[in-house]
Amino acid sequence: MAKHDSHRYSRFHVPGHAGKVPSQEDERRYFESIRRLDFTELEGLDDLHAPSGVIDEAQRLAAIAFGAEESFFLLNGSTVGNHAMILGTSSPGDLLLVQRNCHKSVLNGLMLSGVRAVFLMPRIDQQTGLMTGLDPTLVQQALQQYPEAKGLLLTNPNYYGMGTDLAAISQMVHAHNIPLLVDEAHGAHYGFHPDYPPSALSALADVVVQSTHKMLTAMTMGAMLHLQGPRVDRTRIKRILSMLQSSSPSYPIMASLDLARRNIAIEGHRLLDNTLQHVYRLRKWIDETTPFRYIKPGMDFETLDPLKISLWDSTGTLSGFELMTKLRHYGCFAEMADTRHVLLHFGLHTNEEDLIRLMEALTAISLDAFSEKKENSKASENIYAIQPHPAISIPVSFGLPVERVASPTQLRIPLTKAVGKQSAEMVIPYPPGIPVLYPGETISEWAAIYLQELAECGATFQGLKHVTEFGIPIITPDVENK
Amino acid sequence: MAKHDSHRYSRFHVPGHAGKVPSQEDERRYFESIRRLDFTELEGLDDLHAPSGVIDEAQRLAAIAFGAEESFFLLNGSTVGNHAMILGTSSPGDLLLVQRNCHKSVLNGLMLSGVRAVFLMPRIDQQTGLMTGLDPTLVQQALQQYPEAKGLLLTNPNYYGMGTDLAAISQMVHAHNIPLLVDEAHGAHYGFHPDYPPSALSALADVVVQSTHKMLTAMTMGAMLHLQGPRVDRTRIKRILSMLQSSSPSYPIMASLDLARRNIAIEGHRLLDNTLQHVYRLRKWIDETTPFRYIKPGMDFETLDPLKISLWDSTGTLSGFELMTKLRHYGCFAEMADTRHVLLHFGLHTNEEDLIRLMEALTAISLDAFSEKKENSKASENIYAIQPHPAISIPVSFGLPVERVASPTQLRIPLTKAVGKQSAEMVIPYPPGIPVLYPGETISEWAAIYLQELAECGATFQGLKHVTEFGIPIITPDVENK
């Protein structure tokens, strides 16, 4: 592409900006150079939907780098990869085993496909109250209980970097001769350095989706889907990807995927090592000189991504949301917060300057904050002690939203009165985008309390801005029978 | 966003490149400035999936500029807009009236949704043999024949800029109290200048999808979906969009949509006027001094986009594909070619330099090419004289690819023997990405000859590279019954 850019020529084709220099200063500053790469499918530039040239070559190099047999560039994030993973392996009415704390794109994929899901509850980490990964014993049990399952779809690592023993699960799933489908959105950097957890591909997962933009250096929406082994129909997955992805895929994002691959393949070990030294230093400093703690390897998960530091205030003064706000005042933008933790994401390019700014911020916050000790702090409560969802759910089938919620004037009732009723919508705190309630799911006491907590701490919800103010939409018998 | 960029701060969040300057020179040249806009949903940067801040404001400004009641940014091209238009207005088993020469994304939307389609044949332009727009009389007939239809989905203008009388069709469709859904991918610039055709929104279409990157200046994959009127369930369309689009939408593409809106809203009239002068001058020059001609307003379409010039060689020496190749040698890259035409796309920023290069190229080509007069030229034949598909098809229901093609070792037979058999796949020359055959469709003599012509002229096919060499995949009774 850079080669194509260096040619002097006139563009009588899309995109309409024609690679020309924008006239407005603000547009020029950001878009001038990238516009020169913003092409369409010209001679020599290949075609993502029928690759045989440079895109084919870039995808082959990606397969080699990540250890897959075939790799595909995704231009609509891991979202489209998760959709393709479901639509490409199961037909309407088929049954998939699905880890419950999956990303909303997995649930949307189930809705789009008409595939039935049996949800498997992950383990709950006793130390933090967070949902981690699947227990291999539970997987074994589910495989025996549902021998008709077409595959197991799990998320590894979770948003906090916690992971499970993939190799053990992979072996079990393969013993039933069905594929293991892994949403590895947060683990594209795995497998390139011995001090990081192993990759899903190295655990022989059959389909793996990675957000190359999250932990590696691609542009946002750049992701990959990797395939190996004989258990999935590759032609079908390719066709589904071609159906779902734009017929005008972004060349800048494709180029950034290729560059991110080159970056991790060639410089990965050195960069990962470098960041690890920063992380080790930071951890030591936090332990020795601050009241903050961070999630450490625990009993209820097997692997932990060293590049995710989930900070919490051991004095119980600051909630996760409060700590995140304070960090922002000192110029440190975190990935997300929950009621207790602030999640800090370290990348391949985290440097000394970032580290010092963070240390200074934490020092200042601990001096400031703990002088104003609060009375009714919620930060130290563990709301997860309540009984969660069943370990293995009964098969659930989702329709598209409209089939579930027949009327736009659906009933909303206060959260406190919603226990025992069926939720009409997905309720998704974002980030991390993991639904707490599914459409049609009976609202448990646990879920109601958890949502109340999140709302009080200032969490935002997608599609449902004011859970506490306007209540929660539920399915009433009337609406259901329409 | 630019405001956020100007802050000095440390990023402990995705994307992984953290906005830092790339270390490699080639990456730096193109990505350094755009990376600084490549954000995630931070405080102040809003959330596409629950907009209430800057994204909401940008979408409102877009609605005002384009004349909609509500507008939505699309990050996966018009593809996702067409999918949402179908999934958002019809349920599985419902029936839609669909213009036959639709983009493949419309057909994929029908497959994803399980919606049945009744295809309406567009008029065939006698002058060029091209499929243009729908005849209002046919629309009226189809509306009476299929009163259960949930809407009419049409494409306007077509790839060559030819369009139909949308206002008349709109009135008929609304008289049946169903929505008019318009794929206006190639018409985002309509409605901003009196010498251009009117926009679909001004014809009161209910849902309109526009590729803002095609005729306006957004980055590739940047598109919009516009809504107006009471005939569609907006909540449902919003939810479908939220299901299909990446949970990490690209901020650079969103910013480019906002800038493209600003550009057309503020400078649109002047820029459109300017390009028009170039186009008028070029047309006059072509008519007076070259053996080339271009598509002019005709009998079988009502509107023609002045920014699309479809050149053809009136001496019959050069096919469209050959002319495109020759233009490329002289530094002029065209949008696409068919057996007869080369489609040149003029943009808001086409300038004097482009025009001169094109004139010089055409002069040189006419001197060169016509000395080597060929014997068996196909360029002047009109292959469209053969009877095409029926004007109104019977309802067709598509499944996902796997349900249609049960076996990966499907049967392929030579094109010449395929007439009367059912195609197992979509057969799509690209560009323009308009399927000539649908899965399950009986292969007509017309289609077989047309595909043969295209292949001989060097057209490329998505998913089916070598139609003539390997034959065409068909459904055999065996495969069908599986």
For residue B189, the model assigns a pLDDT of: 97
pLDDT band, very low/low/confident/very high, at A380 (cuts 50, 70, 90): very low
- Using a CB-CB distance cutoff of 8 angstroms, which residues of chain B are in contact with residue A49? 430, 462-463
Tell me the per-residue pLDDT of A394-426, one tens digit each, with 9 for 90 and over: 888 776 654 544 333 457 777 778 888 888 777
10 Å CB burial of residue B194 (0-12, 13-18, 19+) is exposed
Residues A219, B111: C-beta atoms closer than 8 Å: no
Residues B247, A49: C-beta atoms closer than 8 Å: no
10 Å CB burial of residue B56 (0-12, 13-18, 19+) is middle
- Is A462 in contact with A430 (CB distance < 8 Å)? yes
Residue with the bigger pLDDT between A145 and A451: it is: A145
Residues B15, A345: C-beta atoms closer than 8 Å: no
- Decide if pLDDT at B89 tops 90: yes
Nearby residues of B396 by Cβ (< 8 Å), 6 or more positions away: B116, B117, B118, B119, B438, B440, B441
- Decide if pLDDT at B235 tops 50: yes
Any B CB within 8 A of A391 CB: no
Any B CB within 8 A of A331 CB: yes
Mean pLDDT, residues A220-228 taken together = 97
Comparing CA positions, the residue from B333, B254, B253 lying closest to residue A41 is B333
Residues A401, B236: C-beta atoms closer than 8 Å: yes
Instruction: Name the maximum alpha-carbon separation found in chain B.
Output: 69
Nearby residues of B376 by Cβ (< 8 Å), 6 or more positions away: none
Any A CB within 8 A of B85 CB: no
How many angstroms away from the CA of A235 is the closest CA of chain B? Answer: 7
Most trustworthy range by pLDDT among B37-41, B161-165, B376-380: B161-165
Mean pLDDT, residues A443-458 taken together = 79
For residue A377, the model assigns a pLDDT of: 47
- Decide if pLDDT at B341 tops 80: yes
Return left, alpha or beta for A279; rule: phi > 0 is left, psi -120 to 50 is alpha, else beta. alpha
Tell me the per-residue pLDDT of A32-63, one tens digit each, with 9 for 90 and over: 888 888 888 877 888 999 899 999 999 999 99
- Decide if pLDDT at B465 tops 60: no
- Kindly provide the ipTM of the predicted complex, given to two decimals: 0.90
The tokens of B142 are what? 């189809």
Any B CB within 8 A of A93 CB: no
Nearby residues of A341 by Cβ (< 8 Å), 6 or more positions away: A128, A160, A295, A310, A311, A312, A320
Any B CB within 8 A of A82 CB: no
Average confidence score pLDDT of chain A: 86
Any A CB within 8 A of B308 CB: no
pLDDT band, very low/low/confident/very high, at B405 (cuts 50, 70, 90): very low
Give the span between the Cα atoms of A53 and A1, in whole angstroms: 11
Which SS3 state, helix, strand or coil, does residue B336 take? strand
Residues A218, B331: C-beta atoms closer than 8 Å: no
Lowest mean pLDDT among A123-132, A217-226, A296-305, A428-437: A428-437
Give the span between the Cα atoms of B247 and A77, in whole angstroms: 7
Strand partners, B344: B309
Neighbouring CB atoms inside 10 A of A222's CB total: 32
Q: Is the dihedral of CA A337, A338, A340, A344 positive or negative?
A: negative
How many angstroms away from the CA of A243 is the closest CA of chain B? Answer: 6
Residue with the bigger pLDDT between B450 and A325: it is: A325
Give the span between the Cα atoms of B230 and B208, in whole angstroms: 14
- Using a CB-CB distance cutoff of 8 angstroms, which residues of chain B are in contact with residue A35? 219
Give the span between the Cα atoms of B477 and B482, in whole angstroms: 9
- Decide if pLDDT at B1 tops 50: yes
pLDDT band, very low/low/confident/very high, at B400 (cuts 50, 70, 90): low
Which SS3 state, helix, strand or coil, does residue A420 take? coil
Neighbouring CB atoms inside 10 A of A329's CB total: 11
Q: Beta strand B461-462 with B428-429: parallel, antiparallel or unpaired?
A: antiparallel
Any B CB within 8 A of A368 CB: no
Nearby residues of B159 by Cβ (< 8 Å), 6 or more positions away: B186, B336, B343, B431, B432, B434
pTM: 0.91
For residue B183, the model assigns a pLDDT of: 98
Tell me the per-residue pLDDT of A101-152, one tens digit each, with 9 for 90 and over: 899 899 999 999 989 999 999 998 888 888 899 999 999 999 999 999 999 9
Task: Report the percent of chain A where pLDDT is more than 70.
Answer: 86
The tokens of B329 are what? 């040698």
- Decide if pLDDT at B404 tops 70: no
- Using a CB-CB distance cutoff of 8 angstroms, which residues of chain A are in contact with residue B10? 331-333, 353-354, 357-358
- Decide if pLDDT at B216 tops 50: yes
Any B CB within 8 A of A251 CB: yes
First to last CA, chain B: 54
Within A228-319, residue ranges assigned H as helices are 234-244, 251-289
pLDDT band, very low/low/confident/very high, at A480 (cuts 50, 70, 90): very low
Give the span between the Cα atoms of A289 and B432, in whole angstroms: 64
- Is B103 in contact with B82 (CB distance < 8 Å)? yes
Can you count the helices (H) and strands (E) in chain B?
A: 15, 21
Give the span between the Cα atoms of B425 and A113, in whole angstroms: 20
Comparing CA positions, the residue from B81, B99, B3, B78 lying closest to residue B42 is B3
Interface of A with B in 421-460 (CB under 8 A): 430-431, 433, 460
Which of A4, A7, A17, A48 to mutate to probe the B interface, most B CBs <10 Å?
A17
Comparing CA positions, the residue from B212, B186, B348 lying closest to residue B271 is B348
- Decide if pLDDT at B370 tops 80: no
Which of A90, A210, A243 to mutate to probe the B interface, most B CBs <10 Å?
A243
- Decide if pLDDT at A29 tops 70: yes
Interface of A with B in 124-153 (CB under 8 A): none
Residues B108, A2: C-beta atoms closer than 8 Å: no
- Using a CB-CB distance cutoff of 8 angstroms, which residues of chain A are in contact with residue B292? none
- In eight-state DSSP terms, residue B402 is H
How many angstroms away from the CA of B122 is the closest CA of chain A? Answer: 23
Give the span between the Cα atoms of A150 and A115, in whole angstroms: 10
For residue B406, the model assigns a pLDDT of: 38
Comparing CA positions, the residue from B72, B17, B68, B62 lying closest to residue B40 is B17
Peptide bond into B401 cis (omega under 30): no
Task: Report the percent of chain B where pLDDT is more than 70.
Answer: 86
Tell me the per-residue pLDDT of A152-169, one tens digit each, with 9 for 90 and over: 999 999 999 999 999 999
Give the span between the Cα atoms of A4 and A24, in whole angstroms: 25
Which of A49, A76, A111 to mutate to probe the B interface, most B CBs <10 Å?
A76
Per-position DSSP letters for A84-150, written without gaps between them: HHHHTT--TT-EEEEESS--HHHHHHHHHHT-EEEEEPPPB-TTT--B----HHHHHHHHHH-TT--
Any A CB within 8 A of B247 CB: yes
How many angstroms away from the CA of A226 is the closest CA of chain B? Answer: 18
The tokens of B429 are what? 């020359």
For residue B468, the model assigns a pLDDT of: 56
Any A CB within 8 A of B76 CB: yes
- The shortest CB-CB distance from B465 to any of A50, A348, A357 is to A50
Residues A15, B252: C-beta atoms closer than 8 Å: no
Residues A31, B103: C-beta atoms closer than 8 Å: no
Any B CB within 8 A of A371 CB: no
- Decide if pLDDT at A16 tops 60: yes
Residues B217, A41: C-beta atoms closer than 8 Å: no
**Which chain B residue is nearest to residue A89, measuring alpha carbons?**
B402
Interface of A with B in 7-36 (CB under 8 A): 7-18, 20, 22-24, 26-27, 29-36
Average confidence score pLDDT of chain B: 86
Per-position DSSP letters for B133-178, written without gaps between them: ---HHHHHHHHHH-TT---EEEESS-TTSEE--HHHHHHHHHHTT-
Any A CB within 8 A of B53 CB: no
- Decide if pLDDT at B57 tops 60: yes
